[in-house]
Amino acid sequence: MNRRVVVTGLGAVSPLGINVKLSWNNLLSGGCAISKIKDLDAYEKIPCKIVAQVPQGSGPEELDISKHVTKSDMRVMSLSSIFGLIASSEALDDADWKPDDISSKERTGVCVGVGMSDLVAICETNEALKQSYTKVSPYFVPKILPNMVAGHISMKYGFQGPNHTVSTACATGCHAIGDAFKFIQNDFADVMVCGGSEACINPLSLAGFCRLRALCTSSNDSPKSASRPFDKKRNGFVMGEGSAILVLEELNHALQRNANIYAEILGYGLSGDASHITAPHEEGLGALLAMKRAINDAKLQPSDITYVNAHATSTPLGDAVELRAIMKMFESTISDLSVSSTKGAHGHLLGAAGNLESLFTVLACHNSKLPPTINLTDKCDEGKSINCVPNVSQDWKSSRKVALKNSFGFGGTNACLCIGEYTP
């Protein structure tokens, strides 16, 4: 029998809050973290003027990075690495897992991904090279490597188990958690620190996504209503940033040390669309395969699932395709299913989207609360027969809470996690 894997620690740095409690409470209350870009001069030629940023500053609900890393660290690390380190610190404190003994460190691994490299560092280094070769920082290459978030976490805590990085565009965070789950299931480790981190709010990144016509550009004067998953007026996603980290643990290992258990990871499904570089398969075949495989891996039936935390980014095509796939997957039990997307509240964190939303799904299972899909005033036709948890959170009344978490990325890469409340 496979080893059971539970969630024992959570950490987050998100647009909705600088820790898990703030992020979750603001999400449940229907809050929205999307606002106008502060430095508009740098974005003058870019059609999109809105983003979802981590609140930084010295206030009680703002992130003061200087309290977490030194100035010398800032020269070596990308902002995504810093976000990841801060979120992992909260998660490990929450799990009460910072072992000193060698055997525990050897059985603890890290699996944290990044969707995009630090484009600011790349642009600045290119300009420096034009001046002189010696102006290029010796830390440039480590700063832009996708595996350095995992590397910094591993080095800080001395974890010598699997040190693994996933970079699968917007499916990164979900894949990272799924891979960590399998590492524990297959006895490669007893504890895994996993998730994703992203910090790519910059002119080049926004310009690139605008040229793809992926970003919302029609709500610059009304940012709070810009991201509207499943709504007929949706017209693109809003860029977000941040990190979310989960501590996964083999069940007996967690029970032996009397750890707090939030939920259980039950299954993991992966698939490829084999269709298009950016657009999902028109019939949602890749999404359907990922969901089927996650349910099969969990040894469950579709009727056991009563909530889906959707990938839904607020793009016209993507949301519709995902809803069609969900309808096919749960055709006979659709009346018992709830589906929501939290991206209306925090934007799309790209490589850190799947893990932040997995964290919210874990908390949904733990607290029997379904997070809302905000800005949903006129549901699209594909979702007419689905409870999309419009605008206000709902009590989750199923006898056992079991959910799917979907994440899809450019290149047709798909991931799905099956997450459920822990039962002894």
What positions carry a catalytic annotation?
170, 311, 348
d(CA 352, CA 173): 5
Q: What DSSP line would sit under 62-109, residue for residue?
A: SB-GGGTS-HHHHHHS-HHHHHHHHHHHHHHHHHT----SHHHHHTEE
- DSSP conformation class of 198: E
Chain position carrying tokens 């950016």: 278
d(CA 322, CA 281): 10
Q: What DSSP line would sit under 337-363, residue for residue?
A: -EEE--HHHH-B-GGGHHHHHHHHHHH
Q: How many CB atoms lie within 10 A of CB 47?
A: 16
Residues ≥6 apart with Cβ < 8 Å to 288: 325, 328, 329
Residues ≥6 apart with Cβ < 8 Å to 287: 271, 280, 281, 311, 321, 322, 325, 326, 406, 408, 414, 416
Nearest to 169 by CA among 350, 10, 6, 387: 350
Nearest to 22 by CA among 34, 12, 30, 36: 12
**Sign for the pseudo-dihedral over CA of 373, 271, 216, 63:** positive
- Under DSSP, is residue 176 helix (H, G, I), strand (E, B) or coil? helix
Q: How many CB atoms lie within 10 A of CB 139?
A: 14
